[in-house]
Structure 1
Amino acid sequence: MTAHRFRSLLGGLALACAAALPAAAQNFPDRPIRLIVPFGPGGGTDLIARIVAERAGAALGQQMVVENRPGGGATVGIVALVQSRPDGYTLAVCPPICATAQSLYNPPPFNAERDLAPVTSPAELPLVLVVPRSLNVTDARGLLAAARVRQGGLSFASPGAGSSGHLAAEVFHRASGTQMVHVPYRSGAAALTDIVAGRVDFYFDTVASALAQIRAGEVVALGVTGTARVPQLPDVPTMGEAGVQGFDFPSPRLRVVAPAGTPAAILARLNAAFTTALADPALQARIQDAGGKAAGGTAEETRAELNEEAGRFGRLIREIGITAE
């Protein structure tokens, strides 16, 4: 075979692949899609992922199967995604670790910019500051007053170094000007259990996770992150309304991502399915009942949000000197 004919053959193959891509997207999906949740079953992220997956799968005409892959501070599930084929049949729910891993780990287990292809941001998960009933504190000012008089300061729980709960508590710590001690746990459920028992003084948990304990009176909610109150807890003020000056911590978002290299036409098909699902008022109500807030957005908007979050959280992690434990 001559060099000219070989180059012509390669060119023909490239044109054939390019021509086949829209057709592949039109036929996508022709089998079930796997949605990795990098946490165990039963938590707020898992519940909201299942709610959204059910409707997005229906919009695609295929089942979207949730697979729980916990471990490594949520990195195990994301690494599994990165190592999968970029064909649109494996997705993952990406928690804030996707924005923080690059700053937390040396070396990082993945690079969000290089390894992930954002699809959309289906939900926002507001955080709520909760304390044990035994602390006898009813508002954020009371918590700060307790921190000022407690020798050694207050202790705060988190589901791991660099988690959104940890970072929110560090922002609160900075705003308070008081001494506080971080107590990391292997899971949010374990952290909340010790808050209920009064073994730790406060915890920034997701509303989705803490809502049942708040409504049962097992813990006291003092404030929520973000700029607006959440419908699930209308009587709980924002941290700004609660009088915590200098507290600036937007509510974290969940993002759906695919492996880098997934064809753009397939990413567009997936985004359209999630957009259709999230436009349903019944789905929005179910997400709200689960403690979240329906969001959405294009792949480009989701990428921009992820990059912004990585920059903001990265600066905080470096300034405080947080490392993965």
Structure 2
Amino acid sequence: MVHRRAFALTLAGIGMGLVAAGTAHAQAAWPDKPLRIMVGASPGGGTDILARMLADKFAPDFKQSVVVENRPGASNTIAADLAAHAAPDGTTLLLATNTGQAIAPHLLKLKFDPLKDLQPVGLVAVMPNVLVVSAASPYRSVQDLVAAMQASPGHLKYASSGVGSTQHIAGEAFSLATGTKAIHVPYKGSSQAHIDIIGGEVTMMFDSTSSAMGQIRNGKFRALAVMSDRRAAELPDVPTMAEAGVKGADVQTWYGLYVTAGSPKAATDALAAELTRVLKLPDVQARIKGLGGEVGTLTGEQFAEMNRQEYERFRKLVRDANIKADGL
């Protein structure tokens, strides 16, 4: 009996060891299939640029391909909806901005809850918005624009990457602060908007620096003012809105990484750790700073709280400015 009991205990110990090893292997195997990063804007814009940068860094570490899927439209919420309703296995990510996560929910009827159906992984970057016009434009300063808008109310046009986007909100904030009115022309991303600004179809755009910096550097855009409380390091000669004589029109675009809510903790922890590692890389920091932004430093929990605060802040702004979901 003693020998049999010892033998049974040995077998039990072996069994438990195999189970533990199997569990450890299952956890270590994540991800066991390719990852995708959903982007709610067209290729070439700021969100797309950052998503592809992350995909290039994630793939070698996770030993899986990482594909960026562009699903523009509906103020970035088409991509968010797909991520929210994906299988909660941690392999569908969303690189989102405050457009879809904090502004659009107050303008559109959504089939998901951005605060409940998408789990924040971490803040990636914060970019100030910048007022730009075509390099061929006659307007060389903010005051030139304000004077023209006052002389012909509702005549000039401003572009955005969609209704409820930060560009849209920035345009409305500018109108409120200056007592002027311009026509809002929404696009499904920044790329087409840039073409029409350069071509003279629309007058201006309150774009994020991440989207506009390339056109500014290649001489296609003229930057008139940044919409932040201090000048952008990459645009030292461009005044802030306050310096240009307009107060109360500060708007920034933030970019955050999310995963489908309910994804395994092992997956979300691994994603958070990887994002933290990537954001510390010198080339990544240089790329974000080169886009006129600041690298995110918030944890997932801190970023979730920031998202909640931004959600409420924009709820009030949309109501106070009486912003409607026109153009959809």
The TM-score with structure 2 as length reference comes to 0.85
Q: Residue 52 of structure 1 contacts residue 278 of structure 1 at CA under 8 Å; is this kept in 2?
A: no
Match of 2:134 among 132, 135, 139: 132
The match for 1:282 is 283
Structure 2 equivalent of residue 32 of structure 1: 34
Query: Is 1:123 the counterpart of 2:141 in the alignment?
Result: no
Q: Unpaired runs of 5+ in structure 2?
A: 1-21
Corresponding position of 2:174: 172
Structure 1 residue 53: Cα displacement: 2.2
Structure 2 counterparts to residues 160-309 of structure 1, below 5 A: 160-249=162-251, 251-309=252-310
Distance 1:267-1:34 versus aligned 2 partners, 3 A rule: same
Tell me: CA distance 1:228–1:41, structure 2 relative to 1, closer, same or farther (3 Å): same
Please say which structure displays the higher CA radius of gyration: 2
Which SS does the other structure have where 1:255 is aligned? Answer: strand
CA distance 1:22–1:252, shift in 2 (3 Å):
farther
- Asked whether the 8 Å contact 1:132–1:218 carries over to 2, the reply is yes
* Contact 2:72 2:189 (8 Å CA) reproduced: no
CA contact (8 A) 1:44 1:291 kept: no
Indicate which of 74, 77, 82 corresponds to 1:75: 77
**Kindly tell me: are residues 28 and 218 of structure 1, through their superposed partners in 2, closer, same or farther at Cα, counting changes over 3 Å?**
same
| Secondary structure of the structure 1 residue equivalent to 2:116 | helix
Distance (Å, rounded) in 2 between the aligned partners of 1:24 and 1:309: 37
Where structure 1 has 5 or more consecutive residues not aligned to the other structure, the ranges are 1-19
Deviates more, 1:289-298 or 1:212-221: 289-298
Aligned AA (1:86)? P
Q: Which of 149, 152, 166 pairs up with 2:151?
A: 149
**31-40 vs 88-97, greater mean Cα deviation:** 31-40
| Equivalent residues of 1:207, 1:292 under 8 A apart | yes
Q: What's the CA shift for 1:38? A: 2.0
* Post-superposition offset of 1:25: 4.2
Contact 2:44 2:191 in 1 (8 A): no
Post-superposition shift, 1:308? 1.3
Deviations 1:166-217 (A, max 9, x none): 0001001100012322222233222222221222222111222222322233
Match of 2:104? 101
Distance change (3 Å), C-alpha of 1:61 and 1:151: closer
* Partner SS, residue 126 of structure 1: strand
How many Å separate the matches in 2 of 1:59 and 1:299? 20
**8 Å contact from structure 1 (residues 52, 122) kept in 2:** no
- Residue pair 1:102, 1:110 contacting (<8 A) in 2 also: no
> For 2:302 and 2:83, how far apart are their aligned partners in 1?
21
Spell out, residue by residue over 1:80-121, the C-alpha distance to the aligned partner (whole angstroms, 9 max, x if none).
Answer: 111111111111111221212321113x23211221111011
Shift of 1:261: 0.9
Q: Aligned partners of 1:90 and 1:256: how far apart in 2?
A: 11
Alignment RMSD (CA, Å): 2.4
Measure the CA separation in 2 of the matches of 1:65 and 1:317: 34
Segment of structure 1 superposing worse, 86-95 or 312-321: 312-321
- Paired with 2:75 and 2:107, the residues of 1 have a C-alpha distance of 11
TM-score by length of 1: 0.86
Shift of 1:24: 4.8
Amino acid at match of 1:242: A
Instruction: Call closer, same or farther: CA 1:254–1:22 in 2, change over 3 Å.
Output: farther
Confirm or deny: 8 A CA contact 1:138 1:222 kept in the other structure: yes
Compute the displacement of 1:27 (Å): 3.6
Q: Distance in 2 between matches of 1:118 and 1:180?
A: 35
The percentage of aligned residue pairs carrying the same residue is: 38
Write out aligned runs for 1:40-51 (5 A): 40-51=42-53
Distance in 2 (CA, whole Å) between partners of 1:152 and 1:90 is 42
Q: Name the structure 2 match of 1:10.
A: none
- Count of aligned pairs: 306
Provide the rounded CA distance (Å) in 1 between the counterparts of 2:59 and 2:113: 28
Task: Name the CA distance, whole Å, in 2 between partners of 1:186 and 1:316.
Answer: 23
**Preserved contact between residue 157 and residue 182 of structure 1 (Cα < 8 Å):** yes
